Structure 1
């Protein structure tokens, strides 16, 4: 299973329990690069970092530690997120090309992608993943709801409606529930989340409550062929 994460925490925050249930998964973080200059951004300062270089190094280490708790493997692309790139952010086509390269060097049957809610980087990654799925139609494609942003009223429904208009049906995941396994997977997710020390500091003690709410996954299917 290949899981696409916009930033260094999104996959674990949004579908960490699903990752725990799929040992050996690869989590590819798109925006995991550092800028050439040691910029100081408001978010990095809130996280306790002196500059972007320190932040990127520490956050990659946190991500590796978190994924280790889920028996998953990190893959970090060097693209810059919007706080570093500004107007020079990668395009959805550039992101899609990078992801297709990842797919072609591995054997994946399932692709987990963000619904792409609120944040401009999440929108870009979602659009890129749609392009990847078009190019690799044999992959099973499942979308996860972006943790924290999914709480914003109307965003999830707006995305599902947009998918429908594009000829894509989103069906809620209906896999059988094993209560004991669910408890183990949630415990593993809690351990993983705790390893994103810097991000939790910036969110504050109650700013990430949604991370521990039930995860929601949507299986995507095309209802018409692309023109």
Structure 2
């Protein structure tokens, strides 16, 4: 699967999901853009349990560090970050798909004839709402080639991927598996740039990022 001559935008729920799930694709598609939806910093700087496990003292410090990690990782892969200011769920973010759709629409409006890769939306509420927002955007951008990527780490939870594929089929979507590019040492180095997150995952907690990426082409069923 070669995308080297086509513009690529990857929609990432959090500041690590795109590299964890699509690092090999990014490496082979120079100049890609990664739009991270939940990259906002809360005004309330209280300390969440996850941020504590990552070694931070408050939310502001955590988000500054995460953006720096993301910029470093994407630079290794020749990609550009675009950070939206929505808050992730641990900071009280609670959005409807149409809220996220409205934030993402301008990012895709500038792209013509390229590829958009969206999360399959497994397990995490933030991932699910981004997935649903991207399904809504699909109809508004028929000239784009839409892919779904399997959310790293969550895709290994029993039954979740199968349930999502079945739900999409029932809703009138057609997904076709693609041959994804193999991962390399460069992706592994980019993954390690997210040092704060790996600390919280613990030993072996991110091993799924070393396994082959899986991508699906997303299209509507022909009706009538």
What TM-score range do you get, normalising by the shorter chain?
A: over 0.9
* Greater helix fraction, Structure 1 or Structure 2: 1
Name the counterpart of 1:164.
Answer: 169
CA contact (8 A) 1:5 1:30 kept: yes
1:100 aligned onto 2:98: no
Superposition map of 1:9-20 within 5 A:
9-20=16-27
Name the counterpart of 1:146.
Answer: 151
Q: CA deviation at 1:36?
A: 0.8
Which ranges of structure 1 fall in alignment gaps of 5 or more residues?
A: none
Q: CA deviation at 1:42?
A: 0.3
CA contact (8 A) 2:172 2:220 kept: yes
1:190 to 188, 191, 195: 188
Counterpart CA distance in 1 for 2:127 and 2:222 is 25
Name the counterpart of 2:221.
Answer: 223
Superposition map of 1:4-153 within 5 A:
4-85=11-92, 88-107=93-112, 109-153=114-158
Name the counterpart of 1:3.
Answer: 10
Helix, strand or coil for the counterpart of 1:138? Answer: coil
TM-score w.r.t. structure 2 length?
Answer: 0.93
Moved over 3 A (4+): 105-108
TM-score w.r.t. structure 1 length?
Answer: 0.92
Q: CA deviation at 1:108?
A: 5.5
Q: Aligned pair count?
A: 217
User: CA, structure 1 residues 105+44, in 2 after alignment: closer, same or farther (shift >3 Å)?
Assistant: same
Helix, strand or coil for the counterpart of 1:135? Answer: coil
Q: CA RMSD in A?
A: 1.5
Which ranges of structure 2 fall in alignment gaps of 5 or more residues?
A: 1-7
Q: CA deviation at 1:224?
A: 3.0
